[in-house]
Amino acid sequence: MTKHAKKLKVHCPAMKLRGGLKAPKTTLRVSYHEHTVGLPWADIRPLIASAFRHVQREAFRTLRENFLLRSHTWTPDLILAKGQNGYWWGRATGSISRVFIGKLHTEPRQSVYPRYKDMPIMWHRDWQEQLLGLVAHELWHRWQPGHGKPAEIMCELVESDAIDTYRKEQGYTFTPPAKPEPVELVSNRFVAMSDRACESINS
Ligand SMILES: [Zn+2]
C-alpha cells in the first residue's frame, strides 16, 4: 500500500454576482492521507465540497469587500491529515490550508477559538460538521485580509455559516443541548476560620 497522499480536485465554477464582481472559477486541490485518517475519501469529499462551495458562493457574496482580487483563477491547496492525541487543529499559510482531523466524535460539542477572548461560540453536531467548518475557516484565510483577532472572527463566522449551509443542504436542523441550570448560591456567608485552626497556623 502506498504511503503517498491521494491528490484530489474539487472544482467550483465562476459565479456572477451583483455589483459587477465575479467570484473566480476555482479549483481546490486536496492532499488526503487516507491511510492515517482512516476514512474513505467518499465519506470526506461531500464535506469538503460543501465547505468549498460555501466559501466560493455565499461567503464571497456576503463578505466580498474583503476579497483579495489577486487573480481570476484561484487554486487553494488543502492538506487533510490525522491530528495527534485526538486534537483538531488547522493552519493557513500562503495558499496552503492544513486541517488535522482529531477524534471522530458523534456527540455534539461546543467550540470556541482558543487564542483570543470573547470569540463566537458555536456547536458542532458531530465530527462531520467540525471537519466541514474547520475546512471553511482555513480556506477563508486565503481571502481574508489582515491577521489576528479581527481576521479570526471573520473566519469563525464563515465557519458557522458554512455549517448552516451544510445543514440546509442535508435537510436537517440542529438545536444545541440544553444548558444545565446554573447552580444558585443559597448562602453567601463568610465562614470564619475556627480558633483552633488559627492557633495551629500561629504556632
Ligand atoms: Zn484561523
160-187 tens-digit pLDDT: 999 999 999 999 999 998 877 766 666 5
* Spacing, Cα 155 to ligand 1 middle (Å): 6
138-149 tens-digit pLDDT: 998 887 777 899
pTM listed for this prediction: 0.80
* Spacing, Cα 141 to ligand 1 middle (Å): 6
* Spacing, Cα 154 to ligand 1 middle (Å): 9
Question: Which sequence spans correspond to the domains of the chain?
Answer: 6-202
Residues paired with residue 99 on neighbouring β-strands, in sequence order? 80, 90
Q: Tell me if 71 sits within 8 A of 95, measured CB to CB.
A: no
* Spacing, Cα 144 to ligand 1 middle (Å): 10
* Spacing, Cα 87 to ligand 1 middle (Å): 16
Task: Identify the pLDDT of residue 164.
Answer: 95
150-162 tens-digit pLDDT: 999 999 999 999 9
**pLDDT over 70 at 43, yes or no:** yes
* Spacing, Cα 191 to ligand 1 middle (Å): 46
Higher pLDDT, 71 or 195: 71
Give CA separation, 177 vs 52, 88, 110, 180, in Å: 28, 22, 10, 9
* Spacing, Cα 39 to ligand 1 middle (Å): 25
* Mean pLDDT, residues 115-135 taken together: 95
61: left (phi over 0), alpha (psi -120 to 50) or beta: alpha
* Spacing, Cα 190 to ligand 1 middle (Å): 45
